[in-house]
Amino acid sequence: LTSPTNLLFTFSFIIFTIGFTFRHTHLLSALLCLEGMMLSVFLLMATWSLSSNISSFILPLTVLTLSACEAGIGLALLIASARTHNTANLKNLNLLQC
């Protein structure tokens, strides 16, 4: 279905994925792009559930819950590494570098 909201959400998912694969200076930018990906997936699922006869919203709500869990753990990792290295730049996460 190529209605304009579906197209917009699909392209925003693609743009968030592209932004996630590029290397940023800060770890939080990558986490923001990850959150944006889950948000656009939720919007796609909710639009599909709204505009079809299958009116069950279990899947968007479950995906939203699990993405909240994932964001929480990512932020805990960010805070732990920011406490250790005093910033959270991606250059400081080089413990496994040879």
Q: How far apart are CA 72 and CA 35, in angstroms?
A: 11
Q: Which two tokens stand for residue 73?
A: 């753990």
Helix (H, G, I), strand (E, B) or coil at 74: helix
Residue 90 as a binder of other proteins (CB under 8 A): the answer is no
Helix (H, G, I), strand (E, B) or coil at 40: helix
For the segment 13-42, give every residue that binds other proteins (CB under 8 A): 14-16, 18-20, 22-26, 28-29, 31-33, 35-36, 39-40, 42
Please, what is the minimum distance in Å from the beta carbon of residue 41 to other proteins?
11
Please, what is the minimum distance in Å from the beta carbon of residue 52 to other proteins?
8
